[in-house]
């Protein structure tokens, strides 16, 4: 249920384009069009990548609880993304095929993309991220890429070299406006580049294939540039102007500025009204990345005792624009908090009645302040400890909040049952025997049993209400 008084609350988002928060204004009768840069499906996504999709999901949920309809696109890049975000290195999909010993064919590339796309969808489901309305694949929009490049050619924005077709950024007087990129410093004109680009900031819209695979085009056989793919998919599903474009902050200098340049040059219209970007996850102050080899997958987190939704809760405890440094202490603390939350909600009677208007109204006011989920979660805990609320009304109020937080609190009992079934029976038996020894003050036997539990890869924590078993972290990173 969405109440009218929620809908009247103003919403403010930080817009990277203007470097400040601004009020979001949009006709309620029209859907809010959201585009989020999706993964390049050459490998499993790491948890740093996945922060970006928790952020975009929170944005969508915030808009919907305020009464807006949304149309969301998360694209799948399965061709054209080189090993750097500019125009250098090998195609990431090609490298992945070679690594797996597969023959370089379009069919094998598509199959590889399908495998990792399905793994990505599994990660989204584990994090309780709402599935986008559209999840297009770049390889299925080649004809539209060629059409957009042809429009740019007719307007004089591209030129051809022996390596590919490039966008001439000197023709775009606003190039670099996103994030205030200092073009004079960033760009150095050079005639010595192997690509024969007119300027180093110029970017490929079509790359000629050195291999035998690719698609035919008016300029030669090859494949589209990564940037042109996103422009095409965004405009195909959402129109020439979209409302909010999101992604990681690493996309600002190159990828998103290139999207703006080619899209607005082709259409003459604003490409995206609002640009929003999430910060990195770091490990020992270094950015988490596949190329650096310092990354964790969601499955690895779970193997080490941190659930996907415990990880989601950890992310929500900070602003999406703030870097977060990963540590087992922080993750374990968030997992403990999530478990306490599940236990509390599972003990409440069935939700009845209307959620408390003041509590939920204050909660949404925090969410509407540039997705301030940290303050919103503090409102959730305050509600849990509020003794003035009837338990069934408290349950209804908490579930209303969870429409934004996405922590699956409605399924709290089922989640706890599933968790209990995943701990090996022999470990549970040792823990129960130890609990009995402690009740009998047989401390020596209790210590022996604790060591036996640790040898099986678990720690046992004594609590006033019993004990808690947790798998020992075995991560190679921290």
Rounded Cα–Cα distance for residues 411 and 413 (Å): 6
**By mean pLDDT, which of 72-86, 90-104, 280-294 is the weakest?**
280-294
pLDDT(476) > 90 = no
Q: pLDDT band at residue 1, thresholds of 50, 70 and 90?
A: very low
pLDDT tens-digit map of 262-293: 999 999 999 999 999 999 998 765 665 555 55
The tokens for 191 are 């005639």
pLDDT tens-digit map of 421-442: 777 888 888 988 999 999 999 9
Query: In this structure, which long-range contacts are made by residues 406-410, counting pairs with CB atoms below 8 Å and at least 24 apart in sequence?
Result: 406/57, 406/58, 406/61, 406/127, 406/128, 406/129, 406/130, 406/312, 407/128, 407/309, 407/312, 407/313, 407/338, 407/341, 408/128, 408/309, 409/341, 409/342, 409/345
Q: Which residue has the higher pLDDT, 250 or 4?
A: 250
- Residues 464-477, mean pLDDT to the nearest whole number: 69
Q: In the prediction, which pLDDT does 291 show? A: 56
Q: Are 118 and 189 in contact, with CB atoms under 8 Å apart?
A: no
The tokens for 152 are 């740019």
Q: Are 228 and 145 in contact, with CB atoms under 8 Å apart?
A: yes
Which SS3 state, helix, strand or coil, does residue 165 take?
strand
**By mean pLDDT, which of 76-80, 109-113, 114-118, 242-246 is the weakest?**
76-80
CATH architecture of 11-282: 3-Layer(aba) Sandwich (3.40)
Q: In the prediction, which pLDDT does 190 show? A: 39
Q: In the prediction, which pLDDT does 105 show? A: 87
Q: pLDDT band at residue 467, thresholds of 50, 70 and 90?
A: confident
pTM assigned to the model: 0.88
Rounded Cα–Cα distance for residues 384 and 429 (Å): 33
**Which residues belong to the annotated binding site for ATP?**
290
Nearest CA among 469, 416, 371 for reference residue 408: 416
pLDDT tens-digit map of 148-185: 999 999 999 999 999 999 999 999 999 999 987 665 44
Report the percent of the chain where pLDDT is more than 90: 70
**By mean pLDDT, which of 87-101, 128-142, 150-164, 382-396 is the weakest?**
87-101
pLDDT(364) > 60 = yes
Q: Which residue has the higher pLDDT, 370 or 302?
A: 370
CA torsion 132→134→135→136, rounded to 10°?
-160
Q: Which residue has the higher pLDDT, 354 or 3?
A: 354
- Residues 204-226, mean pLDDT to the nearest whole number: 90
Look up tokens 């429409």; give the residue.
403
Q: Are 230 and 255 in contact, with CB atoms under 8 Å apart?
A: yes
Rounded Cα–Cα distance for residues 265 and 205 (Å): 13
- What DSSP string describes 377-439? HHHHHHHHT-TTS-HHHHHHHHHHHHHHH---GGGHHHHHHHHHHHS-HHHHHHHHHHHHHHH
Q: Which residue has the higher pLDDT, 364 or 182?
A: 364
Rounded Cα–Cα distance for residues 298 and 300 (Å): 5
**Which residues belong to the annotated binding site for Zn(2+)?**
37, 230, 255, 259
Q: In the prediction, which pLDDT does 470 show? A: 75
Q: pLDDT band at residue 459, thresholds of 50, 70 and 90?
A: confident
Nearest CA among 344, 365, 353, 362 for reference residue 409: 344
Rounded Cα–Cα distance for residues 312 and 338 (Å): 10
Q: In the prediction, which pLDDT does 473 show? A: 65
**Which residues belong to the annotated binding site?**
37, 230, 255, 259, 290
Rounded Cα–Cα distance for residues 426 and 430 (Å): 6
pLDDT tens-digit map of 304-327: 889 999 999 999 999 999 999 988
Rounded Cα–Cα distance for residues 477 and 281 (Å): 13
**By mean pLDDT, which of 76-80, 89-93, 157-161, 173-177 is the weakest?**
89-93
Report the percent of the chain where pLDDT is more than 70: 89
Rounded Cα–Cα distance for residues 217 and 130 (Å): 37
Instruction: Give the DSSP H/E element, type plus range, for residue 95.
Output: helix 92-99
Residue 212's CB is within 10 A of a number of other CB atoms, namely 8
The tokens for 234 are 């965004």
Three-state DSSP string of 200-267: CCCEEEEEECCCCCCECCCCCCEEECHHHHHHHHHHHHHCCCEEEEEEEHHHHHHHHHHHHHHHHHHH
pLDDT(28) > 90 = no
Q: In the prediction, which pLDDT does 187 show? A: 44
Q: In the prediction, which pLDDT does 354 show? A: 92
Cα radius of gyration (the chain): 25
Q: pLDDT band at residue 192, thresholds of 50, 70 and 90?
A: very low
Q: Are 445 and 436 in contact, with CB atoms under 8 Å apart?
A: no
Q: In the prediction, which pLDDT does 11 show? A: 97
Instruction: Give the DSSP H/E element, type plus range, for residue 466.
Output: strand 466-471
Mean pLDDT of the chain: 89
Rounded Cα–Cα distance for residues 146 and 38 (Å): 21
- Residues 178-193, mean pLDDT to the nearest whole number: 53
Instruction: Give the DSSP H/E element, type plus range, for residue 160.
Output: strand 158-160
Look up tokens 């709290």; give the residue.
412
Q: In the prediction, which pLDDT does 181 show? A: 66
């Amino acid at each position: 249920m969405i109440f009218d008084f929620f809908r009247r609350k103003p919403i403010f988002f930080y817009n990277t384009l203007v470097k400040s928060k601004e009020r979001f204004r949009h006709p309620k009768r029209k859907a809010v069009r959201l585009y989020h840069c999706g993964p390049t499906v050459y490998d499993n996504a790491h948890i740093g990548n996945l922060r970006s999709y928790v952020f975009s999901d929170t944005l969508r949920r915030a808009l919907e609880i305020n009464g807006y309809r949304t149309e969301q696109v998360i694209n799948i890049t399965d061709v054209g993304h080189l090993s750097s975000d500019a125009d250098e290195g090998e195609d990431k999909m090609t490298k992945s095929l070679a690594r797996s010993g597969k023959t370089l064919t379009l069919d094998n590339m598509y199959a590889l993309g399908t495998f990792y796309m399905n793994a990505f969808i599994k990660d989204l489901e584990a994090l309780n991220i709402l599935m986008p309305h559209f999840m297009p694949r770049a390889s299925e929009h080649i004809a539209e890429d060629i059409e957009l490049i042809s429009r740019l050619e007719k307007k004089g924005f591209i030129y051809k070299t022996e390596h590919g077709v490039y966008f001439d950024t000197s023709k775009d007087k606003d190039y670099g406006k996103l994030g205030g990129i200092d073009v004079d410093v960033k760009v150095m004109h050079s005639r010595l580049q192997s690509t024969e680009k007119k300027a180093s900031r110029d970017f490929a819209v079509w790359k000629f294939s050195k291999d035998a695979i690719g698609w035919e085009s008016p300029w030669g056989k090859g494949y589209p540039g990564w940037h042109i793919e996103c422009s095409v998919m965004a405009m195909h599903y959402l129109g020439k102007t979209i409302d909010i474009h999101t992604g990681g902050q690493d996309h600002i200098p190159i990828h998103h500025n290139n999207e703006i340049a080619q899209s607005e040059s082709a259409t003459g219209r604003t490409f995206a009204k609002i640009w929003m970007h999430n910060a990195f996850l770091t490990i020992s102050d270094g950015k988490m990345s596949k190329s650096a080899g310092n990354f964790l997958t969601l499955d690895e987190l779970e193997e080490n005792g941190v659930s996907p939704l415990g990880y989601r809760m950890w992310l929500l405890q900070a602003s999406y624009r703030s870097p977060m440094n990963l540590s087992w202490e922080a993750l374990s603390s968030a997992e403990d908090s999530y478990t306490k939350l599940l236990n509390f909600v599972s003990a409440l009677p069935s939700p009845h009645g209307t959620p408390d208007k003041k509590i939920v109204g204050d909660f949404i006011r925090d969410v509407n302040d540039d997705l301030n989920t940290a303050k919103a979660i503090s409102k959730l805990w305050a509600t849990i400890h509020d003794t003035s609320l009837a338990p069934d009304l408290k349950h209804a109020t908490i579930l209303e909040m969870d429409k934004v937080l996405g922590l699956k609190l409605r399924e709290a009992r089922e989640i706890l049952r599933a968790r209990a079934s995943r701990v090996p029976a022999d470990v549970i038996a040792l823990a129960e025997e130890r609990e009995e020894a402690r009740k009998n003050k047989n401390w020596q036997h209790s210590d022996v049993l604790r060591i036996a539990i640790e040898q099986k890869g678990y720690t046992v924590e004594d609590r006033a209400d019993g004990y808690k078993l947790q798998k020992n972290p075995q991560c190679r990173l921290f």
